Chain A
Amino acid sequence: MSTFSDNPYNPNPISKIGIVILLGFTVFHQINIYFEWAIIFVISFLFYKNGLKNDALKNIAFFAAFSCLLPDIVIIRNMNPFIMMFFMLFIVCRMIYLPFSAGKFFIKTSDVGSIISSMDKIKVPQNISIPIAVMFRFFPSFREESRNIKRAMRIRGITFKNPISYIEYVIVPLLVISSNISDDIAKAAETKCIENPVKKTRYLSVKIKTVDFAYMLLMLVMILGGILW
Chain B
Amino acid sequence: MKTEKLRIKDLVTIGVFAVIYFVLMFLAGIIGIVPILYLAYPTLAGIITGIVIMLFMAKVQKPWGLFILGLICGLIVIAMGNTYVILAHVLISMAIAEFLRKKGEYKSFRYNMLSFALFNTWICGFLMQIFLAKDKVIEMAETRGMGHDYIMKLIKLVNYRSLILVYIGAIIGGIIGAYIGKAFLKKHFEKAGIV
Contacts and interface: CB of A to CB of B under 8 A. Distances in A.
B8 A195 contact: yes
B8 A190 contact: yes
A201 B172 CA distance: 46
A81 interface: yes
Interface stretch (B90-98, B105-113, B133-141): B133-141
Given A132-B72, A134-B11, A195-B8, A102 B81 contact: yes
Contact of B8 (A23, A92, A103, A130): A130
A138 B19 contact: yes
A73 B133 contact: no
Chain B interface size, under 10 / 10 to 19 / 20 to 34 / 35 or more: 35 or more
A137 B71 CA distance: 19
Interface in A1-51: 17, 20-21, 23-24, 27-30
B79 A106 contact: yes
A131 interface: yes
Given A95-B137, A175-B194, A182 B78 contact: no
Interface string B15-52: 11111100100000000010110000000000000011
A174 B14 contact: no
A131 B18 contact: yes
Given A135-B15, A189-B12, A27 B83 contact: yes
A28 B136 contact: yes
B167 to A, nearest CB: 19
Contact of B12 (A28, A82, A182): A182
B81 A73 contact: no
Interface of B: 6-9, 11-20, 23, 33, 35-36, 51-52, 55, 59, 64, 68-69, 71-72, 75-76, 78-84, 129-130, 132-133, 136-137, 139-141, 144-147, 150, 153-154, 157, 184, 188-189, 192, 194
A195 B137 CA distance: 49
B19 A135 contact: yes
Given A130-B11, A179-B194, A182-B16, A29 B51 contact: no
Interface of A: 17, 20-21, 23-24, 27-30, 70-71, 73-74, 77, 81-82, 84-89, 91-92, 94-96, 98-104, 106-107, 126-128, 130-135, 137-139, 142, 168, 171-172, 174-176, 178-183, 185-186, 189-190, 194-195
Given A132-B72, A138-B19, A142-B19, A107 B80 contact: yes
B80 A71 contact: no
Contact of B150 (A84, A134, A175, A195): A84
Nearest to A29: B136
Given A28-B133, A172-B188, A74 B145 contact: yes
B81 A28 contact: no
Contacts of A88: 35, 154, 157
Closest 6 CB pairs of A and B: A134-B15, A103-B81, A100-B81, A85-B35, A131-B15, A99-B81
Contact of B68 (A29, A85, A103, A127): A127
Contact of A175 (B20, B79, B129): B20
